[in-house]
Structure 1
Amino acid sequence: MTPFSIIAPGRILFGRGEAAKAPAAIRAFGGRGLIVHGANPARAAWLMDGLRAEGAEILALPCGQEPTLALLEDALQASRPFRPLWVAAIGGGAALDLGKALAALVPAPGGPVPHLEIVGQALPLAAPPLPFIALPTTAGTGAEVTRNAVIGLPDHGRKVSLRDDRMLARLAIIDPGLTDHTPRSITLASGLDAITQVIEPYVSCKANAFTDAITAPAIGQGVAALVRLMETEDPQARDALAWVSLTGGLALTNAGLGAVHGLAGVIGGFTPAPHGAICGALLPAIMRLNRRHATGDTARRLDLVFGWIADALVGAADAAPETLGAWVRAAGLPGLAAQGLAPARHLEVAEAARASSSMRGNPVVLPVTDLVAALQAAS
């Protein structure tokens, strides 16, 4: 067996009802902290009330959009004088990313840019991060267990990562009950991100025995759960999708991603479309291209993925990408053009994606012409 290492949060709590433990567990990190929440503060009120009942002093910060550099800098300016002892984030991937970035940067001198990839020097953090506690309310990004925060730079037309192993959450609480009754469009986009994030690590050239063990069962499970949730609200399907999302976060942290995310990271700088919607549009075309170029074990892995998807969608294995693509469109996911990516940008996106960190995990090398073809097919 090839040697490998595992990096993961200090503690993970998973299951319905586990969120009730959050106020006391967070208060144990100290008496003063930040709460980063989504656009609707009412969804975090129970947590803030619980922390105050535990005697904690709180500064609440909203994150109603995917974090940009300007939003992060404003949040740092507001947070540092408060001198928090911990940062907790409750919400979707955007809120978790902002919380993770604040936990990393509040103790450090200076601003974020030197620590950012691509536009900065990707320097290690100058000081240990504050304890970070994550409570996801969507099932998709797996950001509760990853070691990076994605920050948008609209002036550069890019999204980049702030990344450090020490940014992993000290505590991640995944309570599927917090995802109940998520709007259908958000469930679809975030669920497709979760599915992509178990497929790409499974076929990644950096896959290992640990990531294989957790991703292989999750691929078909994720597709089946998302199909069910497009039909009706189902707590068991919510539970399954939350597990797949957690699995994907752990897997990508330890085995990387691939061309879907390599392209999506660039596209996200050009359009405000949800990240998961971009991934969902791209996934069928990238799977087909990877299989076209694959040989040996990579081909075997992709064939297994095709079979698991086909079982969940009741179709032929060799046509799984096309079946998935048709189902995604029928479920209401728009193509990339409708999401705001102009065809004139396809070549620019493809060339920029070749240099992304995610692309290094793709199981085969895809030339720019193939990436452009994938963008066209996803439009």
Structure 2
Amino acid sequence: MNFSFATASKIIFGNHSVDQVPALIRELGNKVLLVCGRNAQRAEELAGKLDPGIEVTFFQVESEPTTRLVTAGMELAREKECDVVVAIGGGSVIDAAKAIAAMATNKGELMDYLEVIGRGKPLLEKPLSFIAIPTTAGTGAEVTKNSVIKSPDQHVKVSLRSDFMYPDVALVDPVLTYSMSPELTASTGVDTLTHLLETFVSNQANPFIDMLCREGLHRISRSLLKAYKNGEDKVAREDMALASLLGGMALANVKLGAVHGFAGPMGGMYPIPHGTVCASLVSAVIEMNIEVLSESGGDLSKFEELAKILAGSQKAKAEDSIVWVENLVSALNIPPLSVFGLTEHDFPMLVEKAKVSSSMKGNPVMLDDEQLSWILEKSL
């Protein structure tokens, strides 16, 4: 029963809550770095509603954040003497902005602070004030303390992480997700499912995290397919936005598992959307975890409860969660890993990289090389 919990300083949730942003910025500063995605329309509309005298500098994130992109954003924020960073976009936009806000106030280079491939130094200075506004329902990045960054040189994704990096304000407006395509709804939705699922069965889980995960899993089990089929389903979009928020709160406080253990190195080596990686791996990871627990006489109660929540039946057994997830991924038409060029030749390197990942430490059981390779083979 010993646990701690941290999240964004302030969370605002609700339809049309984005209208509150000008007042929020007014309280934080007057030189804004506005970080957006490829389509800058929403950012431009938001900038047009800000108070006169607010100086706005735009910075676009057109793909997953890389070490070079974050460095460029950091230098721009310093040059323009920005005091507020606002991100409006998907997980990549928020992750990039979060890292830029952190690096703008801390001396040195990004590599000084990155995990795994960098020097891993702790941030010493509080980041610039930061408002995160997600336009997708998937990553939960608006309430996490890390930024996932791709290194083109090392072909891996790693994190910049600090307790300082929780956003000052996480503003979640489900209406902003209505424009997501069915494909993006599916990919990001399974990312949310995986966050909730892996933290629920994590070896670091606690009653507080369980409470968040149960609520999120209930909502996603009834609404992901509905949101995929009808992007303007108000209730489904609200459910997915809240599930994403809860998943982000959970993963910021306990480690994930083997799915995300593989996702970092796999995303660094191949141009595979993160949600697609999760969708391809998650049922195989569940199956292997259940098998190892069963053979060792371990506790399957969490997987049994997971199955009951997903299947919506008190009669469901642990193994039913595997079938439910497989059926969902099939209904969402998410492609397998083989479509992106992954082959058995890559397994040894992926296994070695996954074993040392931070997320793997949260997996409910220790998996050996053979078991990890089986997961990859099953996911092709």
TM-score (normalizing by structure 2): 0.95
Q: Is the 8 A contact 1:281 1:325 kept in 2?
A: no
AA aligned to 1:335 is P
Q: Using a 3 Å threshold, how does the CA distance of structure 1 residues 269 and 73 change in structure 2: closer, same or farther? A: same
CA distance in 1 between counterparts of 2:298 and 2:13 reads 33
User: In structure 1, what is the equivalent of residue 376 of structure 2?
Assistant: 375
Q: Is the 8 A contact 2:261 2:358 kept in 1?
A: yes
- Deviation of 1:317 after TM superposition, in Å, equals 5.9
User: In structure 2, what is the equivalent of residue 29 of structure 1?
Assistant: 28
CA distance in 2 between counterparts of 1:175 and 1:323 reads 29
Q: Is the 8 A contact 2:182 2:229 kept in 1?
A: no
- Deviation of 1:308 after TM superposition, in Å, equals 1.8
Asked if 1:278 corresponds to 2:247, the answer is no
Q: 1:315-354 maps to which residues of 2 (within 5 A)? A: 318-354=319-355
State which of 144, 149, 154 in structure 2 corresponds to 1:151. Answer: 149
User: In structure 1, what is the equivalent of residue 113 of structure 2?
Assistant: 115
Percent identity of equivalent pairs? 37
User: In structure 2, what is the equivalent of residue 141 of structure 1?
Assistant: 139
Q: 1:205-354 maps to which residues of 2 (within 5 A)? A: 205-233=203-231, 234-294=233-293, 298-311=299-312, 318-354=319-355
User: In structure 2, what is the equivalent of residue 92 of structure 1?
Assistant: 90
Q: Is the 8 A contact 1:261 1:358 kept in 2?
A: yes
AA aligned to 1:235 is K
Q: Is the 8 A contact 2:131 2:170 kept in 1?
A: yes
User: In structure 2, what is the equivalent of residue 74 of structure 1?
Assistant: 72
CA distance in 2 between counterparts of 1:40 and 1:221 reads 29
Give the unaligned 5+ runs of structure 1.
none
Report SS of the residue matched to 2:319. helix
AA aligned to 1:362 is N
Report SS of the residue matched to 2:49. helix
- Deviation of 1:304 after TM superposition, in Å, equals 1.1
CA distance in 2 between counterparts of 1:178 and 1:162 reads 27
- Deviation of 1:316 after TM superposition, in Å, equals 7.2
AA aligned to 1:10 is S
User: In structure 2, what is the equivalent of residue 105 of structure 1?
Assistant: 103
- Deviation of 1:344 after TM superposition, in Å, equals 1.1
- Paired residues, number: 376
- Deviation of 1:128 after TM superposition, in Å, equals 1.7
CA distance in 1 between counterparts of 2:43 and 2:344 reads 40
AA aligned to 1:266 is P
CA distance in 2 between counterparts of 1:48 and 1:294 reads 53
Q: Is the 8 A contact 1:270 1:341 kept in 2?
A: no
Q: 1:181-220 maps to which residues of 2 (within 5 A)? A: 181-220=179-218
User: In structure 2, what is the equivalent of residue 364 of structure 1?
Assistant: 365
TM-score (normalizing by structure 1): 0.95
Across the aligned residues of Structure 1 and Structure 2, the Cα RMSD in angstroms comes to 1.7
CA distance in 1 between counterparts of 2:22 and 2:283 reads 41
Q: Is the 8 A contact 1:19 1:175 kept in 2?
A: yes
AA aligned to 1:256 is K
- Deviation of 1:332 after TM superposition, in Å, equals 1.2
1:7-44 C-alpha deviation (Å, 9 max, x unpaired): 11110001112111011102210111211001100022
More off after superposition, 214-223 vs 354-363 = 214-223
User: In structure 1, what is the equivalent of residue 168 of structure 2?
Assistant: 170
CA distance in 1 between counterparts of 2:283 and 2:370 reads 17
CA distance in 2 between counterparts of 1:370 and 1:287 reads 12
AA aligned to 1:369 is E
Q: Is the 8 A contact 1:139 1:194 kept in 2?
A: yes
More off after superposition, 139-148 vs 78-87 = 78-87
CA distance in 1 between counterparts of 2:340 and 2:52 reads 44
- Deviation of 1:71 after TM superposition, in Å, equals 1.1
AA aligned to 1:249 is G
CA distance in 2 between counterparts of 1:242 and 1:309 reads 18
- Deviation of 1:378 after TM superposition, in Å, equals 1.0
- Deviation of 1:326 after TM superposition, in Å, equals 3.4
User: In structure 2, what is the equivalent of residue 49 of structure 1?
Assistant: 48
Q: Is the 8 A contact 2:8 2:143 kept in 1?
A: yes
- Deviation of 1:259 after TM superposition, in Å, equals 0.7
- Deviation of 1:211 after TM superposition, in Å, equals 0.4
- Deviation of 1:299 after TM superposition, in Å, equals 0.9
Q: Is the 8 A contact 2:189 2:240 kept in 1?
A: yes
AA aligned to 1:364 is V
Report SS of the residue matched to 2:338. coil
More off after superposition, 164-173 vs 329-338 = 329-338
Give the unaligned 5+ runs of structure 2.
none
CA distance in 1 between counterparts of 2:317 and 2:162 reads 42
- Deviation of 1:127 after TM superposition, in Å, equals 2.0
